[in-house]
Chains A and B, each alone.
Chain A
């Protein structure tokens, strides 16, 4: 039962108040996309052992979506941030690097941000 802070309303609450929404920072593929790209968009997800960026919704609260940077092994939460961005903010990445020396955003998401 994780504790997360909703960056939209500021409430710090436990997992029952939120709903997980899978991997963050997907790029929507649509008409015109190749079969491979569209399949990857629909079905292929990262499953890292360690740092991950996830979508969450404050479902039983303000109703807003947000993103969380989290370690899937230790359950450490590095921070939460607005869902209305296409890449993790620098300050969140810096926090992760401080806790996981040597980590870089390039390592995540099959090199999406490399």
Chain B
């Protein structure tokens, strides 16, 4: 069993007991425990079930690389799935439950997959469920989805706060082991600004557990002294619980700080995402121990040798009473020594190397531990817990020679430098055959804007596999990075550390060497995704020769741990199967983040009301007070309609339309774009931007214009007013204001830069209201101040003047078909003018209307709407707007494109009106169908609906649509299928449903 030892535990506070809850049971740990160590102390080795076969799983590692120990953490609004037990610090009241099992962790139905494992090899889903095609969507996928997935998604809104933080430093050092500390000290002493971050709560990394002596003192003392020295450097900042998540172009790095995961009741944000720009980055991220591949290496109780050591030394927890150590290197002997020192049994050290180990092996032997060289584990016995291992020669096929009863196995397949961060931004790797691992190639670093390397790696992460080497390496890296960022490194030597003599490790990718299929199909590579040695071999056999293809076919390394333990072992097996060298096979791509970071941290403060900026028109508050139903339009909020008490949105829209047509309506059109184009070449410029001739527009007059992209497609429309000889005011759509302004600037700056024109976007400077309806003129005359008569201000004219004492610019333009004045006032006077219009208009029952009434009225008039009738594939000719394409101009943006064969094709669908035979409203986006199927087996179509409304004026459904030969087929009846399978019949009519001669607007 696993249990708490009587020793102190390096990281524990035995004075502070902590109560927590796992799967409904109350358990006890101590301050300083991780959830993993506390569970082990309570003999809770079984922590979850595997993803595919639902095999029982216990913790394997002690840090961020843990693949198995994943739990649902917290409850309600603080619930989070897939929390790693090894990186979850214990706190009072912690609630966790194991995941991926039903009905319980101890007894799980899904484990039947395990017994069917032979039937579920790599690629099983791809091969089995491909036929019949239709069955995937309706049968296979729903069933597979139900049993797939790890953990479950939270249901409540996250109760915690998150934030982003920006930092700019000369040298960023990621990893707070002894190498990181020394690099920070060397760089800090050179006077540059340094940020040192460490993902765990503790400084010093593995050195204290592994018994390092630095500068003549125990590692713990050296770490304490170094922290003290760093504390005295004002240019050095150090942070724990902060992981380097990713390194990106030009010195950009993301770091993920967990401020209150360990103390949920403090007042801080939960996570903070640091967005760091660094001159130089040093990664001192250490190395991760590799598992060995032997049959049953996933049975709870089989752990990394270093993790076993960590639990004993750091947390005073013994993973087992009798631990067999299995290794291909000397380092794992440290675990045997630590276990022995703690009074625990080590029945055997199984060393795969024929010649065995060096000095540490001698120490082990001196303590009376049985060391068997050239041997291997043939098989682990046990179900939910290791009960024994069967020993065989490594060179053989796995015939068991000895049975060694034990309840834990400590395995070590060697160490792999953590090269993730180096690789994120293009750093290349080299294969180090001596240690059988990839390490950074210093000649091919990630490059900065100046073409020079901006990332260096030091210590074990750089393949310096001894304390002394690591410290020297880190000292050099710290000094070099400081120098590169303008510092002056001190002439001091790195501290010395004594390293024991180690015998060479021997690569062991399979245990035993000649294991048959039966054993290989129980050798786990990827514990979390259940990928075995046999799966990778099958992938190779089936032709997945690229490591990236093998990864996707087998899902090796695709779990939440991203293959931190499985990567090298997997590609060694692949290389062996392909009869290739490991460096030739190469690694998969390392991508950020290093370990998963919370969605909350990525979002930061951008949630709720401050998710994005909100643009308010001057009548925003009035609308809020008068039953507004908002429609978001870009960042704007526009009134969709104003509901009277108890009135539905639909009813409000109908009422607003009727009131406007009958008497007087009022629209806030302030969001429409208003761009000033001015200069001696402004006319010439606008003739290029618009399809119409704008240079001939007379001052005082308005003209409706179309804008196309260089592709010929209609992109925006609006009314242009010529203000004076060299000034035009261009109205754009609400959504188009910024885009069209940028479009104009792009052409001015990059094509016609010698033209004397400037532009200014004045959209927010003016409030603009449309006073609409038969009584519109009476209202303005009542307020008085300027002549708004037909003679003084005819249709499509504009004038400056006073109305009701306000400074106004009045445009006689109409988007509703009624007598209409659009009146601009400075934005600061907008609300006052709105109130004045409402007061004065009371006698005509003035009715404020929203965007939907505007849409209905424009559709009744057959006016197009950008975004409804256009979608980026529609040209003006499709919409019957040929009259707006100037024939007199040699050129305008889009003109040449509209001559292309597809654009001039007479088969292009063209705009018509559509009237249902039964008076109903056509479904938006519905297609008109004809007999037969196209080459894709889809029903043939001959048109589609672009806008559709109920017209309160005509009291039946009206629609606009694009139809094949539409304008030539007036009166033809088309079939529009609805989602429910029924068909609506609609007749092709003129798109102008209301006042076709324009008599009402021109009065």
What residues make up the interface of A, taking CB atoms closer than 8 Å to B? 1-3, 14-15, 21, 28-33, 35, 38, 42, 55, 57, 59, 63-65, 71, 74-77, 83-84, 99
Is the Cβ of A74 less than 8 Å from the Cβ of B447?
yes
Given the known interface contacts A14-B277, A29-B896, A31-B890, the answer about A74 and B750 at a Cβ–Cβ threshold of 8 Å is no
Nearest residue (CB) in B for A27 is B751
Is the Cβ of A38 less than 8 Å from the Cβ of B451?
no
What residues make up the interface of B, taking CB atoms closer than 8 Å to A? 248-252, 277, 426, 447-451, 710-711, 742, 745-746, 749-751, 753, 890-891, 895-897, 899-901
CB neighbours (8 Å) of A1 from chain B are 248-250, 252
Q: A29-B896, A31-B896, A64-B749 are in contact. List 8 more A-B contacts (CB 8 A).
A: A1-B249, A2-B250, A2-B449, A3-B277, A14-B250, A21-B746, A75-B250, A99-B451
Is the Cβ of A76 less than 8 Å from the Cβ of B750?
no
CB neighbours (8 Å) of B250 from chain A are 1-3, 14, 75
Contact among A59, A63, A76 with B449 in the assembled complex (CB-CB below 8 Å): A76
A selection of 26 A-B contacts at a CB cut-off of 8 Å is A1-B248, A1-B252, A2-B250, A3-B249, A3-B250, A3-B277, A3-B449, A14-B250, A14-B277, A28-B751, A30-B895, A31-B895, A32-B896, A38-B897, A38-B900, A57-B746, A59-B742, A65-B745, A65-B746, A65-B750, A74-B451, A75-B249, A75-B250, A75-B449, A77-B450, A84-B749
Contact among A21, A76, A83 with B447 in the assembled complex (CB-CB below 8 Å): A76
CA distance A38 to B899 in the complex (A): 11
Contact among A32, A42, A76 with B710 in the assembled complex (CB-CB below 8 Å): A42
Give, as a whole number of angstroms, the nearest-CB distance from A8 to chain B: 9
Is the Cβ of B249 less than 8 Å from the Cβ of A2?
yes
CA distance A31 to B249 in the complex (A): 42
CA distance A76 to B899 in the complex (A): 41
Is the Cβ of B749 less than 8 Å from the Cβ of A65?
yes
CB neighbours (8 Å) of B426 from chain A are 74-75
Main secondary structure of the interface of A (DSSP, over half): loop
The 4 tightest CB contacts between A and B, nearest first, are A76-B451, A1-B252, A84-B753, A65-B749
Is the Cβ of B449 less than 8 Å from the Cβ of A83?
no
Most chain B CB within 10 A, of A29, A32, A65, A99, is at A65
CA distance A42 to B742 in the complex (A): 19
Contact among B249, B750, B900 with A35 in the assembled complex (CB-CB below 8 Å): B900
CA distance A33 to B252 in the complex (A): 45
CA distance A32 to B897 in the complex (A): 11
Give, as a whole number of angstroms, the nearest-CB distance from A28 to chain B: 6
CA distance A65 to B750 in the complex (A): 7
CB neighbours (8 Å) of A30 from chain B are 891, 895-896
Give, as a whole number of angstroms, the nearest-CB distance from A89 to chain B: 15
CA distance A38 to B902 in the complex (A): 14
Give, as a whole number of angstroms, the nearest-CB distance from B47 to chain A: 38
CB neighbours (8 Å) of B248 from chain A are 1
CB neighbours (8 Å) of B896 from chain A are 29-33, 38
CA distance A3 to B450 in the complex (A): 10
CA distance A1 to B278 in the complex (A): 12
Nearest residue (CB) in B for A99 is B451
CB neighbours (8 Å) of B710 from chain A are 42
Is the Cβ of B449 less than 8 Å from the Cβ of A77?
yes
Most chain A CB within 10 A, of B451, B896, B899, is at B896
Give, as a whole number of angstroms, the nearest-CB distance from A34 to chain B: 10
Give, as a whole number of angstroms, the nearest-CB distance from A95 to chain B: 10
CB neighbours (8 Å) of A75 from chain B are 249-250, 426, 447-449
Contact among B252, B448, B897, B901 with A42 in the assembled complex (CB-CB below 8 Å): B897
Is the Cβ of A76 less than 8 Å from the Cβ of B450?
yes
CB neighbours (8 Å) of A32 from chain B are 896
CA distance A3 to B249 in the complex (A): 8
CA distance A100 to B628 in the complex (A): 62
CA distance A71 to B452 in the complex (A): 13
Contact among B251, B448, B751, B891 with A31 in the assembled complex (CB-CB below 8 Å): B891
Nearest residue (CB) in A for B425 is A75
Is the Cβ of B447 less than 8 Å from the Cβ of A63?
no
Most chain B CB within 10 A, of A30, A63, A74, is at A30
Nearest residue (CB) in B for A67 is B750
CA distance A77 to B250 in the complex (A): 10
CA distance A41 to B172 in the complex (A): 45
CA distance A97 to B426 in the complex (A): 23
CA distance A97 to B987 in the complex (A): 68
CB neighbours (8 Å) of B895 from chain A are 30-31
Give, as a whole number of angstroms, the nearest-CB distance from B752 to chain A: 10
Give, as a whole number of angstroms, the nearest-CB distance from A71 to chain B: 8
CB neighbours (8 Å) of B745 from chain A are 63, 65
Given the known interface contacts A1-B249, A35-B900, the answer about A55 and B450 at a Cβ–Cβ threshold of 8 Å is no
Is the Cβ of A83 less than 8 Å from the Cβ of B897?
no
CB neighbours (8 Å) of B753 from chain A are 83-84
CB neighbours (8 Å) of B448 from chain A are 75-76
CB neighbours (8 Å) of B891 from chain A are 30-31
CB neighbours (8 Å) of A76 from chain B are 447-451
CB neighbours (8 Å) of A15 from chain B are 249
CA distance A29 to B897 in the complex (A): 10
Nearest residue (CB) in A for B277 is A14
Give, as a whole number of angstroms, the nearest-CB distance from A70 to chain B: 9
CA distance A29 to B277 in the complex (A): 42
CB neighbours (8 Å) of B899 from chain A are 31
CB neighbours (8 Å) of A74 from chain B are 426, 447, 451
CA distance A11 to B745 in the complex (A): 20
Give, as a whole number of angstroms, the nearest-CB distance from A79 to chain B: 10
Nearest residue (CB) in A for B748 is A65
Give, as a whole number of angstroms, the nearest-CB distance from B4 to chain A: 47
CB neighbours (8 Å) of B447 from chain A are 74-76
CA distance A29 to B896 in the complex (A): 8
CA distance A77 to B450 in the complex (A): 6
Give, as a whole number of angstroms, the nearest-CB distance from B763 to chain A: 15
CA distance A99 to B450 in the complex (A): 10
CA distance A28 to B895 in the complex (A): 13
CA distance A28 to B751 in the complex (A): 8
Is the Cβ of A83 less than 8 Å from the Cβ of B900?
no
CA distance A81 to B64 in the complex (A): 46
CB neighbours (8 Å) of B249 from chain A are 1-3, 15, 75
Is the Cβ of B252 less than 8 Å from the Cβ of A14?
yes
CB neighbours (8 Å) of A2 from chain B are 249-250, 449
CB neighbours (8 Å) of B746 from chain A are 21, 57, 65
Nearest residue (CB) in B for A70 is B449
CB neighbours (8 Å) of B450 from chain A are 76-77
CA distance A45 to B943 in the complex (A): 34
Is the Cβ of B750 less than 8 Å from the Cβ of A55?
yes
CA distance A65 to B742 in the complex (A): 10
Nearest residue (CB) in A for B252 is A1
Give, as a whole number of angstroms, the nearest-CB distance from A86 to chain B: 11
Nearest residue (CB) in B for A35 is B900
Give, as a whole number of angstroms, the nearest-CB distance from B568 to chain A: 27
Most chain A CB within 10 A, of B250, B450, B890, is at B250
Give, as a whole number of angstroms, the nearest-CB distance from A110 to chain B: 20
CA distance A33 to B516 in the complex (A): 70
CA distance A31 to B896 in the complex (A): 5
CB neighbours (8 Å) of A33 from chain B are 896
CA distance A33 to B890 in the complex (A): 13
CA distance A1 to B248 in the complex (A): 6
Give, as a whole number of angstroms, the nearest-CB distance from B594 to chain A: 17
CA distance A42 to B897 in the complex (A): 9
CB neighbours (8 Å) of A55 from chain B are 750
CB neighbours (8 Å) of A38 from chain B are 896-897, 900
CB neighbours (8 Å) of B277 from chain A are 3, 14
CA distance A40 to B474 in the complex (A): 53
CB neighbours (8 Å) of A29 from chain B are 896
CB neighbours (8 Å) of A3 from chain B are 249-251, 277, 449
Most chain A CB within 10 A, of B451, B891, B901, is at B451
Give, as a whole number of angstroms, the nearest-CB distance from A44 to chain B: 14
CA distance A71 to B669 in the complex (A): 47
CB neighbours (8 Å) of B251 from chain A are 3
CB neighbours (8 Å) of A83 from chain B are 749-750, 753
